[in-house]
Amino acid sequence: MPSAIDFYFDFSSPYGYLASEKIDDLAARYGRGVNWIPVLLGAIFKVTETIPLIQMPVKGEYYAHDFARSARFLGVPFQMPHPFPIATQNAGRAFLRLQDRDPVLAKKFAHACFRAYFTRNTNLSDMSQLTTVAAAVGIDAAELSAAVNDPALKERFRAQNEAAIARRVCGSPYFIVDNEPFWGADRLPQLEKWLQTGGF
């Protein structure tokens, strides 16, 4: 059985969201699974010495335009959220907790988070709003709160981020398949060709 694709993303990443709507179907066409791995871009930006795309001089304006156009190009609903970006460690910790219980449920939760933020302006950094998103996929407030405040999960999420940085993950979305790295929703066609041909 061919190895799964590692899919690194931050819940606050527009291109990460766009890729999240495509990667499982793409992988399935070539008999591959996908490991969803939430990370924090803030920590990655420290080692890459960069800032959020939207805050970059001149480029920021282009990116805002490109987020929406890339969404239309890919046929994915999109509405630019405000505030942007937001802190996503709570969503990340909750994802890890759910993954232990049921990986399918964890992905369902991740999709719900991405769609809530990028189509309905639901602020995932606000616990009451995150609770509403979680409730819609069957996770109650008590479980969510426990996950978010669990010191062991905090440490695990931190370590997962460090491991991603050690693997040279430099943005979101970032994919690694058979040791080959692909960065960006715009690299999905190259990733697909890689799966199709076994490397090119």
CA distance 161 to 186: 23
Residues that bind its own copies (CB under 8 A): 47-50, 56-59, 61-62, 65-66, 69-70, 72-73, 168, 170-171, 181, 183-184, 186-187, 189-190, 193, 200
Q: CA 2, 102, 136: angle at the middle one, nearest 5?
A: 125
Nearer to its own copies, 50 or 121 (CB): 50
Least separation in angstroms between CB 68 and its own copies: 11
Amino acid 194 reads W
Contact between 36 and 110 (Cβ < 8 Å):
yes
Nearer to its own copies, 21 or 130 (CB): 21
User: What is the C-alpha radius of gyration for the chain, rounded to an integer number of angstroms?
Assistant: 16
E-assigned strand segments in the chain = 5-9, 34-38, 174-177, 180-183
Nearer to its own copies, 35 or 48 (CB): 48
CB of 52 to its own copies, least distance (A): 14
| Residue 147: burial class (beta carbons within 10 Å; 0-12, 13-18, 19+) | buried
Closest contact distance (angstroms) between CB of 106 and its own copies is 28
Min CB(27)–its own copies separation in Å: 19
Residue 134's closest CA among 152, 146, 12, 23?
A: 146
Is the Cβ of residue 29 or residue 72 nearer to its own copies in the bound state?
72
- Cα 77 from Cα 187, distance rounded (Å): 20
Q: Which is nearer to its own copies, 73 or 83 (CB)?
A: 73
